[in-house]
Structure 1
Amino acid sequence: MSDTPLGFDTLAIHAGTAPDPATGARQVPIYQTTAYVFRDADHAAKLFNLEEIGYIYSRLTNPTVSALANRVVALEGGAGGIACSSGHAAQIMALFPLMGPGKNIVASSRLYGGTMTQFSQTIKRFGWSAKFVDTDDLGAVAKACDKNTRAIFCETIANPGGYVTDIPALAKIADRKGIPLIVDNTTATPWLCKPIELGATLVVHSATKYLTGNGTVTGGIVVDSGRFNWSANDKFPSLSQPEPAYHGLTFHPALGGMAFTFHSIAVGLRDLGMTMNPQGAHYTLMGIETLGLRMERHVANARKVAEWLEKDPRVEAVSYAGLKSSPSYKRAKKIVPKGAGALFTVSLKSGYDGCVDLINKVKLFSHVANLGDTRSLIIHPASTTHRQLEPAQQIAAGAPPNMVRLSIGIENVEDIIADLDQAMG
Structure 2
Amino acid sequence: MSAALKGNANFRWLMSGATISMLGDQFTLIALPWLVLRLTGDPLSLGLVIALMSIPRAVFILLGGALVDRYSPKQVLMLTKYASTLLLGALTFAVLTDQASLSLVYALAFGIGLAQAFAVPAGSSMLPRTIEPNLLQAANGIMMGLRQLTLLAGPLLAALILVLEGGNGAVASMRALGIAFGIDCVSYLVSAWTLSQVKPLDVAKPPQDQHLLRSVGEGITMVWRDTDMRSCFLYWGLVSFFVGGAMQVAMPLLAQNTLHDAASLGVLLGAHGIGTLIGMAASGLLKKLRWLSFGAMILSVDALAGLFLAPVGTISASWQGVLLMLPLGLIGGFVQIAVFTWIQQRVPPQMMGRTMSIFMFIFMGLAPLSAASTGWVLQYLTLTELFAGGGALLVCFALGAWLFTPMRHIRHSAAG
Q: In proportion to residue count, which structure has more helix?
A: 2
> Into which bin does the TM-score normalised by the smaller protein fall?
under 0.3
Q: TM-score, normalised by structure 2?
A: 0.28
Higher relative contact order (CA 8 A, sep 6+): 2
Q: Tell me which protein shows more strand as a share of its residues.
A: 1
